[in-house]
Structure 1
Amino acid sequence: MDLDQALQTYLVEARELLEEMESSLLRLESTPEDDEIIGAVFRAAHTIKGSAGLFGLAPIIGFTHIVEDILDQVRNHRLAISAELIKLLLESCDHINLLVNIVVEQGDNPGPAELAQDGMLRERLQIYQQGDTESLVRLPCSQTSPVERQDPGPQAMTELWHISLRFGREVFKNGMEPTSFLRYLATLGEIVAIETITAALPGWQALDPENCYLGYEIDFDSTASKESISEVFEFVRDDCQILILPPHSKLAEYLALIEALPEENEMLGQLLVKTGALTQAELEAALHLQHLHAQAPHARLGEILISQGAVDEVVVDAALKKQNQGKEQKNKEQRFVRVHADKLDDLINLVGELVVASSGANLLAQRLRDSQLLEATSVIAMLVEEIRDGALHLRMVPIGETFNRFQRVVRDVSQELDKDITLRISGADTELDKSVVEKIGDPLMHLVRNAMDHGIESAERRQQAGKPSQGTLTLNAFHDSGSIVLEIQDDGAGLDKEKILKKALERDIIAPGQQLSEQDIYQLIFEPGFSTAEAVTNLSGRGVGMDVVKRNIQALRGSVELHSETGKGTLVRIRLPLTLAIIDGFLVRVGSAHYVIPLDMVIECVELTEDALQDTLGRDYINLRGEVLPFVRLQHYFDIQSQPGRRENIVVVSHGGQKSGLVVDELLGELQTVIKPLGKLFNHLRGISGSSILGGGDIALILDIPALVQSAIQRELHQLGHQVMGHTLSPSSIN
């Protein structure tokens, strides 16, 4: 067995269990009596401790054991859920995660700081584990608790074993004496009540003194197991009818044992025997009866055990439920295979090279004009596309896993800010590339914390504004035109445009009198060092972060925009590509240079004629079917030499609902292309997101449409500003 690989598997599984544990604890805060959630938290802690035991990870075992013990008290309704306990358990989750990282990744024992934290948490946990239970409020038993389905009876009787015993006729002949078994039974506990049953006695004419006609109904007080009580009658089992009914407290114990068992795919009888609710002899007798009635409709083992009175119905129901959980878990595990991320990255790279090779083969076939070769390359291209889509889908994960992590963030930050804020999540099933998910987490974190600190007001201010005292933060995700859109929305006070402009002027970010659109004003908050906070806090106010957020989003070939309404809230919309590896593109040529436009942004292509430019007075826009379409000449933007008198075409693109045009020389059609990142030397280039190798070996640059259009607008405004200043300072204007 590869222990290193096993440790890595444990690390991954432990983190997943801790995430599940944290999520369940947050849900438990609003539904403290939900037994299923409590059970899920307990099982997560139990599994973490058990798996740690396989590797001898003593720090994890010792600490998690205390947490598990407390959760067991909660599960058995001996300890109440409270806000303080939830907070402590969440801190314990964080500490277990820290221990996992230290022990598994570093291979070292915790350091002095971690040991100090461990000791403080243990002291706080032990108050609940071993403290004054009278001062703890007990939770009432759930109304749906299966134990309550038993006939109540006198309270004293419900806490006693009940043994129904009918000796066989041949007991005396076999040398057995019934009362000796009763004396032996008394060594295991106290026979509280006994009733002799003589109903089987025949009339004196048919009475055989060598036969036994006795039976007993016994109430027995003992801490022994059912198996131990059953062994008392081992020598007369074949000649007797024995029914052992556990006390109600034992029923609860059996149910707890069944719940605590690992979810393995065991048979019903094995589960019941393992928990002690059924003896091996009772199981064998029931299996024998089941075999005899194999063709009968009532031949199910559980029904046979219930009809015989060997096991209570609620215990059988719990065991069946546990058995189904084990089957479901096993089936779920069989549906998934853990694959190292590096292997997926290698696969994607190979598929990318396959796309390039397929394009080259197709180009060669077109040059040779061989119909059979063209048909063969066409089939290959279709298969490559399917392989590409399948390979990319392997790296697609739902964004909900990332969104759910913010439940804890919102809870902790809202308490730190003394605000009542709830988090709503929608679109959690929306999938995107794992590499994008990993890199978008930090920008999302900053935006969420910023919305809670700056956006959502205090409860008093919200009430004064006629709003509910509880603020709402919403995370949403959806697919749109081959991209994924992430939205962070709050119902706070909104952005103050006047305040933003004032700060921008103070920091010389904009010039006095400069005219800006609403979106341009909002984008100022992404400038380095910009902040409108009146005081510096632990969360914000230093003007560090928002510029990094935008830079990180742009590094993912994404864009960010803001929409705000005073008094109603702010919406931050992030648009990202689904994957960073391969792209469906539209190839164009400008002069001798080739460019790739993301195909999902292309709407249509039209010819740019002289007639279309006649009414524009030399400005870069045309009338496209009654709609003004601004355009960018890529020849001018990239300073490319081109032949005069060439035919020009406009590629109409759309991003964020806004249309614009790109003027190119030649339209070369669709292609699949692999994105190759640019080196650090070219990081300053605006409008370029990467490069690609074409089938013929030429290099094509991949256009970043949002950045290109924004850069072109800024150039235009800059030139207009110079023209206005030049006109203002001309001699004619002075005279």
Structure 2
Amino acid sequence: MNLDEGLQAFVTEAGELLAEMEAGLLHLGDPAAREEAVNAIFRAAHTIKGTAGLFALDYIVLFTHAVESVLEEVRNGALPLEPELVALLLDCADQIAAMVRDVERGGHGDFGDRCGPQLAALHAYLAPAPGLADLLPERVLAAAPEEGRWLVSLEFGRDVFRQGMDPAAFIAYLGRLGRIVALATVADGLPPPEHMDPLSCYLGFELVLETAAGAEEISKVFEFLHDECTLRLLPPGSRAEDYQQLANTLPLHAAALAQVLQAAGLGTVAPPPQPAATPVAPAADVADGAAPALLAPAAGPAPARGAESRTIRVDAERLGQLINLVGELITASARTQMLASRFKDAALQDSSSVLGELVEQVRDSALQLRMVKIGATFNRFQRVVHDVAREIGKDIRLVLSGEEVELDKTMVERIGEPLTHLVRNAIDHGIEAAGLRRQRGKPAQGTVSLNAYHDSGSIVIEVGDDGGGLQRERIHACAVERGLLDPEHKPADSELFALVFEPGFSTAAQVTSLSGRGVGMDVVKRHIEALRGSIAIDSAAGLGTTVRVRLPLTLAIMDCMLVTVGASRFAIPLGTIEECVEYEQDGARGFVDLRGEALPTVPLRALFRLPGSAPRRESVLVVRHAGQRAGLVVDSLQGQCQAVIKPLSPVFSGIACLSGSTVLGSGDVALILDVPALLKQLQARPAGNLAA
């Protein structure tokens, strides 16, 4: 894992959020948009604080938490939005931006003196107002220790590569704490070449680091490795006996240890009393004191020959332009095939058919370029679960499955923030304290799971926990108190659990730096719906909760079945279609007999109030989504087509059963049906008749 890339992602995201924050502060003068602006500012500060916590940027977390607390008072109406307060918040946004720029430059976050006046001004709006020493950690306020040379001894586990970790990246990141004076590699227990596993790590390192950092800061560099690294540190001023004891403990590291100590001017060590195992370097080299070879601090492992030619980095904007052009090519190819069929020229029809097949292959290849495995996104949450669980004092493990499932890169990038909120909520709200879990007969260690799988042309991502489940009575009481439910109404579980996605809805007893402010779940739902997805909650008291997110595989192109209803044409995603049967109008209104099963039907003519009468023979397309089935009654089937998805005009935003449109080869426009939304409405209608 490259820590520099993670920090760069934080810097980029924080810059965007700060721009939103500043824009919201500048629009507070508009009374009509004030409430949404305050919510947007609060969400930006909340997200910056949460992400900064993942990288242990405590000074950003604490400062932003103070800003967030003042904004909470504004949201609750306890503080008026006076010009002085707006000016202070703008100043604080500038201060957070300065902190982020310091992170980008590799600074150490020495903001104690500069943040003092702003923190005092923020806490003047709150009661009681703690002092600066109560807000910043002791290691930020304390003076840095005297600079010296640390001996760092590293042994990496065999599975470090399988965990997606790069030892060289951690050593390079260690160099940010100071200067690596000497570095030597050790191939610990290197087997014969024929027995080597290319996925196993056999490396160890001995290095001398000149830094003013302490043992805690040095050890934090390797937190990502968890159990895949053994770290030993000897501080500046250590005795010769300490170095010799380390050499005796690690006989295979003795030669490397002697080499780096001599290069750094810290002395040397004698060979250990016990002869070491198979030496890493030839005996002649050891006798000459040349093994293992010293590496320059900035040098990394030499890449294999030809490795650079196997991959190429492409700007995402260029890739998006390629997808758009492929979409236009599909439309042009469809028109060419239609014209060839009209002129009935055999050679032209054959040529257009070959062209259509090639275009389809180009489409599949172009879309495959944007498909990435979701496992990389899932793995990010290992650190999230580790840090958040430690923060709140819980023992929690993360279980991942379905990492091989592929999803459009655009979807992966935009699903990260909603998943973060869901995982943090599972840890904080879902998993009980260890004592309570023991009382309930559960293991003290809680489990949070992330799972992904394909279902009916969609990808399903599940965030689950084995906690206490949602508290139905508490949610109901909170909803009644806020006026979201009538006290006499007895909602179903699905209806009640959906209320947690309402803005500001929270059942937390107290506000912490992790949750309790009623922010997050409404943002999750908004992000999911913006991706043409849906979200639902299943929960069982005492057993746990599962949040299920359904997303389309791509936002660009999909295979559809083209149907006609009167003079209108509709495209139905092929992944949702199970079969097609002839429509028989005998039986109950709104249902059809499908091999002894009463299947609810939706006549598209009645649903969209299209003119004209139905033909004598109609067809029923059986569609499925999330375990629910229905039959769509259409006039005729026109065959399969590739739909290049175009967004609908805002005029059609109120029609829930449409997800977009596509241009056909004839130049006509076909509307793309939103099958999940259609089935959801069908389920809510009496007697299952959506057209009624």
Look up the match of 1:580. 555
User: What does 1:309-458 align with in structure 2 at a 5 Å threshold?
Assistant: 315=292, 326-328=302-304, 330-458=305-433
Does residue 1:66 correspond to 2:188, yes or no? no
2:156 maps to amino acid: D
Look up the match of 1:603. 578
Deviation at 1:144, TM superposition (A): 7.0
Structure 2 spans left out of the alignment, 5+ residues: 13-52, 57-152, 186-203, 226-232, 273-278
Following the alignment from structure 1 to structure 2, what is the Cα–Cα distance between the partners of residues 558 and 593?
A: 26
Following the alignment from structure 2 to structure 1, what is the Cα–Cα distance between the partners of residues 383 and 543?
A: 25
Per-residue CA deviation, residues 240-293 of structure 1 (Å, 9 max, x unaligned), is xxxxxx986699xxxxxxxxxxxxxxxxxxxxxxxxx9xxxxxxxxxxxxxxxx
Q: Does the Cα contact within 8 Å between 2:532 and 2:659 map onto a contact in 1?
A: yes
Does residue 1:464 correspond to 2:439, yes or no? yes
Following the alignment from structure 1 to structure 2, what is the Cα–Cα distance between the partners of residues 506 and 719?
A: 34
Following the alignment from structure 2 to structure 1, what is the Cα–Cα distance between the partners of residues 487 and 687?
A: 15
1:533 maps to amino acid: A
Look up the match of 2:682. 712
1:43 maps to amino acid: A
Q: Say which SS state the counterpart of residue 432 (structure 2) adopts.
A: coil
Q: Does the Cα contact within 8 Å between 2:585 and 2:592 map onto a contact in 1?
A: no
TM-score, normalising length: structure 1: 0.60
Task: Identify which of 188, 191, 206 aligns with 1:76.
Answer: 206
Q: Say which SS state the counterpart of residue 386 (structure 2) adopts.
A: helix
Per-residue CA deviation, residues 602-653 of structure 1 (Å, 9 max, x unaligned), is 0011122122xx2x2x3x2222112221222222222222325553321111
Q: Say which SS state the counterpart of residue 530 (structure 1) adopts.
A: coil
Per-residue CA deviation, residues 662-715 of structure 1 (Å, 9 max, x unaligned), is 122221111111111224444333122111101111111111111122123334
Q: Does the C-alpha gap of structure 1 residues 72 and 641 become closer, same or farther in structure 2, counting only changes over 3 Å?
A: farther
Task: Identify which of 630, 642, 649 aligns with 2:619.
Answer: 649
Look up the match of 1:205. none
Q: Does the Cα contact within 8 Å between 1:42 and 1:71 map onto a contact in 2?
A: no
Task: Identify which of 626, 642, 646 aligns with 1:672.
Answer: 642
Look up the match of 1:522. 497
Deviation at 1:465, TM superposition (A): 0.9
User: What does 1:134-283 align with in structure 2 at a 5 Å threshold?
Assistant: 146-147=252-253
1:337 maps to amino acid: I
Deviation at 1:534, TM superposition (A): 2.9
Per-residue CA deviation, residues 87-134 of structure 1 (Å, 9 max, x unaligned), is 7438999xxxxxxxxxxxxxxxxxxxxxxxxxxxxxxxxxx9976758
Deviation at 1:460, TM superposition (A): 1.3
Q: Say which SS state the counterpart of residue 542 (structure 2) adopts.
A: coil
Following the alignment from structure 1 to structure 2, what is the Cα–Cα distance between the partners of residues 13 and 420?
A: 25
Following the alignment from structure 1 to structure 2, what is the Cα–Cα distance between the partners of residues 573 and 224?
A: 56
Following the alignment from structure 2 to structure 1, what is the Cα–Cα distance between the partners of residues 479 and 6?
A: 48
Look up the match of 1:217. none
Q: Does the Cα contact within 8 Å between 1:67 and 1:92 map onto a contact in 2?
A: no
Does residue 1:702 correspond to 2:672, yes or no? yes
Per-residue CA deviation, residues 493-552 of structure 1 (Å, 9 max, x unaligned), is 112333333433444434455564433333332234433333333333333332331232
Following the alignment from structure 1 to structure 2, what is the Cα–Cα distance between the partners of residues 630 and 359?
A: 34
Following the alignment from structure 2 to structure 1, what is the Cα–Cα distance between the partners of residues 658 and 237?
A: 67
Q: What count of residue pairs does the alignment treat as equivalent?
A: 509
Task: Identify which of 586, 602, 607 aligns with 1:632.
Answer: 602
Q: Does the C-alpha gap of structure 1 residues 70 and 686 become closer, same or farther in structure 2, counting only changes over 3 Å?
A: farther
Q: Does the C-alpha gap of structure 1 residues 65 and 24 become closer, same or farther in structure 2, counting only changes over 3 Å?
A: closer
Look up the match of 1:556. 531
Following the alignment from structure 2 to structure 1, what is the Cα–Cα distance between the partners of residues 385 and 540?
A: 23
Q: Does the Cα contact within 8 Å between 2:285 and 2:291 map onto a contact in 1?
A: no
1:335 maps to amino acid: R
Q: Say which SS state the counterpart of residue 561 (structure 1) adopts.
A: strand
Per-residue CA deviation, residues 404-439 of structure 1 (Å, 9 max, x unaligned), is 222222122212222222222222232211100111
User: What does 1:675-694 align with in structure 2 at a 5 Å threshold?
Assistant: 675-694=645-664
Following the alignment from structure 2 to structure 1, what is the Cα–Cα distance between the partners of residues 263 and 635?
A: 92
1:486 maps to amino acid: I
Per-residue CA deviation, residues 170-189 of structure 1 (Å, 9 max, x unaligned), is xxxxxxxxxxxxxxxxxxxx
Q: Say which SS state the counterpart of residue 405 (structure 1) adopts.
A: helix
Q: Does the C-alpha gap of structure 1 residues 315 and 573 become closer, same or farther in structure 2, counting only changes over 3 Å?
A: same
- Identity value in percent: 44
Q: Does the C-alpha gap of structure 1 residues 631 and 132 become closer, same or farther in structure 2, counting only changes over 3 Å?
A: farther
Structure 1 spans left out of the alignment, 5+ residues: 1-8, 26-30, 51-63, 94-127, 151-157, 161-221, 226-245, 252-276, 278-301, 724-735
Following the alignment from structure 1 to structure 2, what is the Cα–Cα distance between the partners of residues 88 and 308?
A: 35
Following the alignment from structure 1 to structure 2, what is the Cα–Cα distance between the partners of residues 537 and 481?
A: 40
Deviation at 1:380, TM superposition (A): 1.1
Q: Does the Cα contact within 8 Å between 2:168 and 2:301 map onto a contact in 1?
A: no
1:425 maps to amino acid: L
Q: Say which SS state the counterpart of residue 443 (structure 1) adopts.
A: helix
Q: Does the C-alpha gap of structure 1 residues 687 and 143 become closer, same or farther in structure 2, counting only changes over 3 Å?
A: farther
Q: Does the Cα contact within 8 Å between 1:46 and 1:68 map onto a contact in 2?
A: no
Q: Say which SS state the counterpart of residue 610 (structure 1) adopts.
A: coil
Q: Which segment drifts farther, 496-505 or 366-375?
A: 496-505
Q: Does the Cα contact within 8 Å between 1:35 and 1:75 map onto a contact in 2?
A: no
Following the alignment from structure 1 to structure 2, what is the Cα–Cα distance between the partners of residues 643 and 622?
A: 20
Give the root-mean-square deviation of aligned CA atoms. 4.8
Q: Does the C-alpha gap of structure 1 residues 364 and 512 become closer, same or farther in structure 2, counting only changes over 3 Å?
A: farther
Does residue 1:89 correspond to 2:209, yes or no? no
Following the alignment from structure 2 to structure 1, what is the Cα–Cα distance between the partners of residues 413 and 369?
A: 15
Q: Does the C-alpha gap of structure 1 residues 142 and 379 become closer, same or farther in structure 2, counting only changes over 3 Å?
A: farther
